[in-house]
A and B are shown apart, each in its own frame.
Chain A
C-alpha cells in the first residue's frame, strides 16, 4: 500500500470506527498458517467432506439425571421431547451477537448417569463448512434440542451460517429452551437469570476464573493470530456452560416433581406456582400460591380458580384481599361480579363497590372510574339512589 493512501486511511480511521482497540497487537498480515497449537486438552479429529475438524470429548456425572426421564421436562417444554438419550444439548461460543458466526460448539448427550459432550472448534474462518458440517451432523443425529436461550440465539445463528455456507438445513425437532422455565422458577430469587448466576445461586457452585462473555470474541481473534493459550479459558467456559445447563435442567425437573412443601421460601413458592401454571398443572400452581399466602398470592390463586370454573372457592380469597389494610380494587371488582352474576345478589355487589369507593381514598383514577361505572350500573339495576359523584 502506498504511504499516502495509508496516511489518508489513518486520517479517517477514528471517524470510520475502524480502530482496533489493541494498538500494540502484532499485525495479522498475510494468510493465516495452520496448523496452530490447539487449546489445552486432548483433541482428536473428525473428518468431513469439507475437511477435518478438531474435537475434544468430556464426560461428567449429572445429579438428578433420573428426573430427566420423568414426565416433567416434556411438560415444562410443552412438547414431547422423546427419550432422554436422543436429546442433543447445545451451546455455542460466537464472534459477536447479531450476524456473528460460531467458532466453538459443545454438543452433549445423556449417557448413563452423566452428560457426555463433544466440543468442535473452528480452526480458521475459511474452515467454516467443515465445522458446520460436523456440528450439524451431531445435532441432526438425535431427537430434541436442549439449550439455554438457544431458541432465539444459538439455533437461528447456526441455521443462518449453514444457509450461507450452502449446507443442508438442520432438522426442526422439539426444543426445550431451559432459560424460560429457569427464569420463572428462580429468576426472582437469584440476581438475574444468566446461566452463570443460576449456577452459583441455585446449584451452589460458583465458577472461579471464568472468562467474561464479552471477552470471548477478542480471545478467539487472539488465538487465530497465534496466541496458543487464548482459547483455554473459553473452551472451559463452554464446557462449564453445557454441564451447568444439564444440571439446571435436571434440578428444574426435580423441583417440579417434588411439588409444593410447607416452609419453602416465598420467592420459591411463587416461582414454583408460575412454573406449574406454565407446565399446565393449575392445581399445583394454586397450591403453591396458597402456601405462599398474602394478598398477591390470593389474587393469583383466585384468578386460576376462576379460570377453572371454581368461583365459589375464589370468592373468599377476593373477600379477604379487598378487606386488607390496602384493599385490592381488582378483588373488589371480581367479588362484585361474582355476587352480581353468579350469586345473583346485586345488592351485595353494590355494597362491595360502595365500601371500596368510600374506604379507599387513595385508589387511582382509572380504578375509581371503573368502580363508579359499576356503581352507576348497580344502582340502576337495584333501583337504589345514585350516591356517587355527579355524572360527566
Chain B
C-alpha cells in the first residue's frame, strides 16, 4: 500500500475510537542557483559526477559568505543538503591552498564518523592527497600522531576538543597554525548546559588560535530554531551572518494529531499513548510503509519494541529494530546500515536519531507523545520523507497536560516558531571551570578577557586558591591537576556501564547511561531492558560506575521513586507581597551578574492561543472548596540558588500489561546533590493552619504538577530541564511554596526566565486546570486524586 492510499483509507474509515485531526502541509518546490564561478574545477567536476549541476539557493549563499570570510549560521531543515553548505567552501579552500586546514565539530562521535565516511568518499575522487580523519576516543594511539601532523580536516566532538586537543595544543601546532575553517554542525543541540560549555570551549579554541596566529572562519549549521543568529553569536562570541532562506524542495506532509479515547470519563484518563503508538506503527508496517517510532524514554522504547515485534508477523517483526543512546557504537552502526540497505523497515528510537545520522528513506514517523518541544517535533517529523516524497507524521497524545494541549490545538504546533536555543556561557560554575582550562592552556595576561565580562576577580580568586600564580604580569597555571578532566561538558560525572554477566566466562558491556538515570534504572533488583531483552541488575558498583546484570524472564518491570529535598542557598530576586522571611532582593547590591538571557521577551509569544476545540473558560473561576483562600491573596515569586539532594528510595514491581503493583523493595544508593538555580512561588504562611495540612498538600502538589508540565512551553526548554517540587512549609520561606528547579548543575537561566514569566505561567496553569473536562483531577491537569483540582484552582483563585 502506498502512503497516499494509507492516508486516504484512514481519513475515509476513521482511526477507531480516538479523536483524529488531520493537517496537510503543501509541497514546496526547489530554488536553484548555478555553481559559483569561483568554484575549483575539480570540485565542480565531482559535483557534476554526483548529479549536482547546480546548488540550492542557501548552499550558494553559504559558499559566498564563507568564502568572503564571514562567520555564518545556516539554518537547514532535515534533508536540505546542509553538509554541502560547509563542505563546499572548505574543500574549495583546501584544494586551492595546500597548507590550509579545517576542524569539524559534531555533537557526537557517531555523527563525526558518519560525516567522515561521506567526506572521505568525496575526497577520494577529488583529492586523495587531502587526508581527513576523525579524532575521538576510538582513535588508536598510533594514528593520533598522524592525525595531529597530517590531518587536513579533523572531525571531532566538543568533548575531545575540550579534554584532548586544546590542553595539548602544543602538539597540534600544524592544525592551529593553519586553521582556516571551523565547522560547527548541529548548532541547535548546543543548548542549555551543553551549549554553555561549548561557548566556553569555543572561547578557548579562539584564544589558542590567536596564540598560533590564526583566526578561522566559523561555518555553523543548525536545524530550525527560533533564534539561530543569537545562539550562534553567543556560542561563537562573534557576530554571525544568518542564512535561513531554504532553497531545498520538500514533499507533501500529512500530520495526524491523534488523541486516544477516554477510557475513564470520571478520572479523565485516556488510553495509554504507548499502546496506541504500537497500534499505529503495526498498521503502517503491516501496510509495508517504512516507519520510525519516536518515544522519549529508553524504557518506553524497549516496551514499544517488544510489543511491536510480538504483534507483527515474524518476517516483518525481524525487520524492526530498537535504537537509543545507550547502545554501543557498533550496534548503532549495524542498525543504520540496515536502514540504508532496506533490510530494516521499522525503527523504534529515542531522540538519539534526532541528530542528522543519515538513515535513508522512511515514509512515516509515529511520535509517542509530544516530544516536548516544537523543534524536536520538527526534527523527528523530518525523519519521514527525506527524499522529497510524501510523508506522514502521527503524533499520538499522552495524558500529560502538554500533550493534551497540542493534540487539541494542532495549529498551535504547526503555527508555532520552534523554541529558542538558550545558553548562558556566563554561568559561574561553567565559566570558572573553563577559565581554569584556559589558564592551563596559556597563561592569562593581566586584563585579558574571556568572553564579555571581566576576568580579574575570578583570576584573583583562583590565585588565592593557589590554582593560578601571578608572576610577571600574567596568571600561570600552577597545580599538578589537569583541569579538563574535572569538567564534563554534558554535566554529570562520568557514565555508568552496564555489564552483562549472564555468561560468567565472558561478561560483556551492553550499554552505558548517565549517573542520574542510573539512580533510577540500575539499582539492585531493577529490571533493565536492552534491545527488548530483560536483564536484572545483580549488583551496582556505584563508586566504580558499573552495573552488573543477568538476563532474566520477568513478567514485570520496575519503577523507582525519587525523594527530593531542596534547600535555598541564595535569593537573587524576589517580590510580591509574600509574608515570611524572603528579603527584598537579597544580595542584589554589589553582585556581579554575568547573566545573558536569550528570548526572554519572547515568552509571551509562546502563550497558548485560543483553544479552538475545547470550550475555553472565559469567565474566570470562582474559588470554591477552600473557604480559607480569599481572592487577592498575596503570592510571592523569587529565584535564586538552591541545593537539591535527590535519593532513589524504593522501587515498585509493576506487571507488564496491566501495571498492577506486584511488590516493592528498597533502593540502597547514596544521595546525589545538585547545586543549581530555582524559581519559586510562595503562598500565605497561615494557609496550613486554615486549611489543614492534607488539603493544602494536595492543592500544592496538583498545582506543582500542572506548573511543572506547562513550564517547558514558556521556558522553551526540554521537559527534563526543570522539575517541580511543592513544600507545604518551606524551611527557607516559612510558607507553602512551589519550586521549579533546573536539573543542570549551576542552572542555565531557566529559573530567571520563569521568574519573568510568572504571570503567564500561573495564567496558563489556571487555564489548563479550569479547562480540563475531568471531574476532580486527572493526569492531564493536576493528577488524579480527591480535592486537588479545586484546591489548586483556589490557590490561583485571585488571578483576574
Contact = CB atoms under 8 A, between A and B. Distances in A.
Q: Do A and B come from one complex?
A: yes
Interface of A: 1-6, 8-9, 11-13, 15-20, 22, 25, 27-32, 95-100, 124-127, 156, 159-161, 163-164, 217-218, 221, 224-225
Contacts of B587: 4
Contact of A22 (B171, B443, B466): B466
Contacts of A22: 466
B170 A164 contact: yes
A127 B474 CA distance: 11
Decide if the interface of chain B is mainly helix, strand, loop or mixed: mixed
B476 interface: yes
Interface string B459-482: 011111111011111101111111
Contact of A96 (B168, B462, B481): B481
**Ranked 8 nearest A-B pairs via Cβ:** A126-B472, A96-B480, A217-B480, A160-B170, A125-B476, A17-B486, A20-B466, A126-B471
A218 B477 CA distance: 13
B466 A15 contact: no
B583 to A, nearest CB: 14
A28 B470 CA distance: 8
Contact of B432 (A18, A29, A163): A18
B440 A99 contact: yes
Contacts, number: 130
A25 B479 CA distance: 14
Nearest to B432: A16
A159 B168 CA distance: 12
27 contacts: A2-B457, A2-B591, A5-B591, A5-B592, A12-B429, A12-B432, A12-B746, A15-B429, A16-B433, A16-B486, A17-B483, A17-B486, A18-B436, A18-B467, A25-B466, A28-B469, A31-B473, A96-B479, A96-B481, A100-B480, A124-B472, A126-B472, A127-B472, A160-B171, A164-B170, A221-B466, A221-B469
Contact of B675 (A11, A25, A30, A126): A11
A29 B463 contact: yes
A221 B465 CA distance: 12
A373 to B, nearest CB: 23
A36 to B, nearest CB: 12
B460 A1 contact: yes
Given A18-B432, A125-B443, A163-B173, A224 B469 contact: yes
Contacts of A2: 457, 590-592
A160 B440 CA distance: 14
A35 to B, nearest CB: 13
A132 to B, nearest CB: 12
A224 to B, nearest CB: 6
| Most-contacted residue by chain B among A1, A12, A98, A163 (CB, 10 A) | A12
A237 to B, nearest CB: 16
B470 A30 contact: yes
A22 B433 CA distance: 20
Given A4-B591, A6-B461, A16-B433, A99 B470 contact: no
A99 B167 contact: yes
Contact of B745 (A15, A98, A218): A15
Interface of B: 167-168, 170-171, 173, 428-429, 432-433, 436, 440, 442-443, 457-458, 460-467, 469-474, 476-483, 486, 569-570, 587, 590-592, 641, 675, 745-746
A99 B439 CA distance: 12
Contact of B641 (A3, A11, A97, A98): A11
Contacts of A159: 170
Contacts of B474: 125-126
Contacts of A25: 466
Contacts of A224: 469, 478
Interface centre among B170, B429, B467 (most CB of A within 10 A): B170
Contacts of A12: 428-429, 432, 675, 746
A5 B457 contact: yes
A3 B432 CA distance: 17
Contacts of A225: 466
B421 to A, nearest CB: 25
Nearest to B463: A28
B225 to A, nearest CB: 30
A16 B168 CA distance: 21
Nearest to B429: A12
Contacts of B479: 20, 95-96, 217, 221
Given A15-B745, A160-B170, A163-B170, A4 B470 contact: no
A28 B170 contact: no
B478 A9 contact: no
B462 A31 contact: no
A32 B471 contact: yes
Given A9-B461, A18-B462, A164 B442 contact: yes
Nearest to A123: B471
B372 to A, nearest CB: 28
Nearest to A4: B591
Given A1-B461, A4-B590, A125 B745 contact: no
B138 to A, nearest CB: 20
A128 to B, nearest CB: 9
Contact of A29 (B433, B464, B478, B482): B464
A221 B471 CA distance: 13
A181 B465 CA distance: 43
Contact of A31 (B440, B472, B486, B592): B472
Nearest to A1: B457
Contact of A98 (B436, B463, B467, B482): B482
A125 B167 contact: no
Contacts of A221: 466, 469, 478-479
A164 B169 CA distance: 9
Contacts of A97: 480, 482
Contacts of A124: 471-472
Contacts of B436: 16, 18
A2 B443 CA distance: 24
A99 B168 contact: yes
Q: Which of A16, A29, A100, A127 has the most CB of B within 10 A?
A: A16
A28 B461 contact: no
A52 to B, nearest CB: 14
Contacts of B429: 12, 15-16
Contacts of B461: 1, 6, 9
Contacts of A126: 443, 471-474, 476
Contact of B464 (A11, A17, A28, A127): A28
A218 B480 CA distance: 8
A161 B443 CA distance: 13
A224 B470 CA distance: 11
Given A1-B457, A9-B428, A15-B429, A98 B466 contact: no
Given A1-B461, A160-B171, A20 B476 contact: no
A125 B471 contact: yes
A19 B465 contact: yes
B599 to A, nearest CB: 25
Contacts of B641: 8, 11
A343 B767 CA distance: 95
Contacts of A13: 465
A125 B479 CA distance: 12
B453 to A, nearest CB: 11
Contacts of B467: 18, 20
A32 B481 contact: no
A371 to B, nearest CB: 22
A2 to B, nearest CB: 5
A163 to B, nearest CB: 5
Nearest to B169: A164
Nearest to A163: B170
Residue among A31, A125, A159 with the highest chain B CB neighbour number at 10 A: A125
Nearest to B461: A9
Given A13-B465, A28-B469, 8 more contacts: A8-B570, A8-B591, A9-B458, A11-B569, A16-B436, A99-B168, A124-B472, A126-B443
Contacts of B590: 2-4
Nearest to A6: B461
Contacts of A6: 461
